[in-house]
């Protein structure tokens, strides 16, 4: 039980096994590259993302030596903006997912550990949340309280993204609650807090990590979609979605403004999905087949405890 039941053991085995997983190596490399680009990239180009170089002569320039990805209709350097966009998109998604994983894990742990009436009530409330279409809710709140600052967007994405993971955590908690070593710890007089912290959490963390990785990709796509609908990041903040929106409105002329942020979004989401799948392969020996995860913002897992789907890790709801 040594490796499986301590967080450090999980980490050590994880990195080694991931390294042996070929597609995971690729995905991790892409993500690392993105993070490096997001942090240092904007410093390497000679422009700032909001600088308008010459609004008459340099607008809508196709890719060239000086502007490898071209310029937009405001004569801003697109490469700089896409790099800055990586910063915004990655930061928004990571923070939002951190938030939803924390909230979801806590909710699921409490529900699963408490059991009984508390569990029933918490699950019914969760059913209610789960049946509100997330995209609709986000659009409604972002439109009605317009304009919502970036921090608000992060909180909203986080606050609407924890339902799926809390269900997974609850199921895991319920199965782990009565495993031998937990019973043993309880017999030795360990407090509830200690049991949860030392024994349950390390076992639950595995599916949470997988879910979180997949969720980062989904939230990036979702944020881009919201920006595309005009309710995401605000000018001149360049999120990939808002750069894309700029381009779409003039798509007859500027294919480069549509194409490059689009490629960035797809590559990033793809990398996170591949990594998530690989993590599942590596972390969850029961799930051998690069198991199923559902597309972003799509299906909901069944709402009751004896769910028909027993395909290993529960698919996440709506990212």
Partner 1 sequence: MRKSTLVIIAAAVALAGCTSKESATSAGGGQAGGTVIMVTPGDAVEVFPPFVNDQVGRWVQDLVFERLADLKPGLVTKGDQGFAPRLAQKWTWAPDSLSIAFSLDPRARWHDGTPVTAQDVKYSLDIFKNPKVGSPVTPNITNIDSISVRDSLTAVAWFHKRKPEQFYDLAYQLMVMPKHVYDSIPPEQLHTSPTTRKLVGSGPFRFVSWQPGSRIEFIADTANYRGRPSLDRVIMTPGDPATGAAQLLAGQVDLVIAFPVDQVPKLDSSTVARSMIDPQLAYVFMAMNPHVAKSKTEPNPVFADIRVRRALSMAVDRVGMLHNVFGNDGILSHGPFPMAAGYADSTLRLPPFDTTAAKALLDSAGWRAGADGMRSKNGKPLRFSLMLPSSSLFRRRYGVLMQEQFRKVGAQVDLDVVDNPTMIRRLLDHDWDAELHAPGVDPSLTGEEQFWATRAIGANGQNFIPYSNPKVDALLDSAIATFDPAKSKGQSSRAFQMMIDDAPGIWLYDVTVYDGINRRITVPTPTISDWWMNLQNWSIPADKRIPRDRIGLAPAKP
Partner 2 sequence: MRRRLAARLLQSLIVVIIVTTISFFVIRAAPGDPFSYDSPTITPAIRAHWRAQFGYDKPLPTQFARYAVSVAHGQLGYSFPMHEPVTEALAAAVPRTLLLAGLSLALSFVFGVIIGVIQATRRDGWFDRVSSAILLFFYSLPDFWGALMILLLFAYWWPILPAGNIVDPVLHDYMGTWDAFADRARHLVLPVLSFTLLTMAGITRYQRAAMLDTLPADYIRTARAKGLSERRIIWHHALRTALTPMVALLGLMLPALLGGALFVEKVFDWPGMGLLAANAISARDYDLVTATVIVGSIMVVIGNLAADLLHMALDPRVRE
Work out what residue 283 binds among partner 1, partner 2, none; the CB cut-off runs from 5 to 8 Å by kind: none
Residues of this chain, 14-43, that bind partner 2 according to CB under 8 A: none
Distance CA 255, CA 226 (A): 21
Q: Which residues pair with 71 in a beta bridge?
A: 77
Enter the DSSP assignment of 293: -
Shortest separation between residue 76's beta carbon and partner 1, angstroms = 9
**Residue 235 CB, nearest approach to partner 1 (Å):** 5
In order of 1, 103, 117, 178, 309, the CA distances from 167 in angstroms are 25, 12, 16, 18, 13
147 binds, among partner 2, partner 1, none (CB under 5 to 8 A by kind): partner 1
Q: Which is nearer to partner 2, 155 or 270 (CB)?
A: 270
Shortest Å, Cβ 236 to partner 1: 6
Residue 133 within binding range of partner 2, rule CB under 8 A: yes
Residues contacting 240, CB < 8 A, separation 6+:
82, 85, 86, 88, 89, 220, 224, 227, 261, 262, 264, 265
Residue in 62, 145, 191, 235 binding partner 2, rule: CB under 8 A: 145
Judged by beta carbon distances under 5 to 8 A according to partner kind, the member of partner 2, partner 1, none in contact with residue 236 is partner 1
309 scored as a contact of partner 2 (CB under 8 A): yes
The 3-state DSSP class for residue 262 equals helix
Cα–Cα nearest to 246, from 59, 9, 27, 43: 59
Name the burial class of residue 49, with classes exposed (0-12), middle (13-18) and buried (19+) by CB atoms within 10 angstroms of its CB.
buried
Return the one option of partner 2, partner 1, none that residue 249 interacts with (CB less than 5 to 8 A, by type).
partner 1
Least distance CB 34 / partner 1 (angstroms): 26
Indicate which single residue of 118, 253, 298, 305 sits in contact with partner 2 (rule: CB under 8 A).
298
Contact by Cβ (8 Å): 300, 130: yes
Provide, rounded to whole angstroms, the least separation between the CB of residue 246 and partner 2. 14
Q: Among 19, 184, 299, 305, which residue interacts with partner 2 (rule: CB under 8 A)? A: 299
Residue 57 tokens read as 């002569």
47 binds, among partner 1, partner 2, none (CB under 5 to 8 A by kind): none
Other C-beta atoms within 10 Å of 199: how many?
22
Interface residue list for partner 1 (CB under 8 A)? 50-52, 55-56, 59, 73-75, 143, 146-147, 230, 234-236, 249-253
Residue count of the chain, please give it. Answer: 319
Residue with tokens 């609908």: 229
Among 244, 257, 278, 283, binds partner 2 (CB under 8 A): 244
Q: How far is the CB of 74 from partner 1 (least distance, A)?
A: 6
Stretch that binds partner 2, among 78-86, 98-106, 175-183, 270-278 (CB under 8 A): 270-278
> Distance (Å, rounded) from C-alpha 52 to C-alpha 47?
9
- What's the Cα-to-Cα distance from 130 to each of 103, 135, 171, 220, rounded to whole Å? 15, 12, 16, 20
Cα–Cα distance measured from residue 200 to residue 206, given in angstroms and rounded to the nearest whole number: 11
Q: Please report the beta strands in the chain, taking only residues with DSSP state E, as ranges in sequence order.
A: none
- Report the interface residues with partner 2, using CB under 8 A: 124-125, 127-128, 130-137, 139-141, 143-145, 217, 221-222, 224-225, 228-229, 244, 248, 251-252, 258, 262, 265-266, 269-270, 273-274, 288-304, 306, 308-311, 317-318
């Amino acid at each position: 039980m040594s490796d499986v039941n301590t967080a450090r053991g999980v980490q050590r085995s994880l990195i080694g096994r991931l390294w042996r997983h070929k597609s995971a190596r690729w995905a991790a490399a892409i993500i690392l590259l993105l993070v490096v680009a997001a942090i240092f990239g904007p410093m390497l180009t000679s422009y700032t993302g909001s600088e308008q170089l010459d609004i008459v002569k340099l607008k809508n320039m196709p890719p060239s030596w000086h502007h490898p990805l071209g310029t937009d209709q405001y004569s801003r350097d697109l490469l700089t903006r896409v790099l800055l966009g990586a910063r915004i998109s990655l930061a928004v998604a990571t923070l939002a997912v951190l938030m939803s994983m924390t909230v979801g894990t806590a909710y699921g742990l409490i529900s699963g550990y408490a059991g009984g009436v508390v569990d029933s009530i918490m699950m019914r409330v969760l059913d209610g949340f789960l049946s509100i279409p997330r995209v609709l809710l986000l659009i409604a709140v972002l439109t009605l309280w317009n304009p919502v600052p970036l921090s608000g967007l992060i909180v909203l994405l986080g606050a609407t993204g924890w339902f799926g993971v809390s269900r997974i955590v609850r199921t895991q908690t319920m199965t782990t609650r009565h495993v031998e070593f937990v019973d043993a710890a309880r017999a030795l007089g360990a407090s509830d807090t200690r049991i949860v912290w030392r024994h349950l959490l390390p076992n639950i963390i595995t599916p949470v990590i997988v879910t979180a990785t997949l969720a980062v990709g989904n939230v990036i796509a979702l944020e881009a979609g919201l920006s595309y609908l005009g309710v995401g990041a605000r000018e001149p903040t360049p999120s990939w979605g808002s750069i894309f929106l700029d381009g779409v409105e003039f798509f007859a002329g500027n294919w480069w403004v549509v194409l490059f942020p689009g490629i960035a979004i797809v590559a990033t989401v793809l990398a996170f999905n591949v990594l998530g799948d690989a993590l599942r392969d590596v972390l969850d020996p029961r799930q051998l087949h690069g198991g199923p995860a559902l597309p972003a913002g799509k299906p909901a897992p069944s709402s009751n405890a004896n769910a028909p789907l027993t395909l290993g890790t529960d698919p996440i709801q709506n990212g």
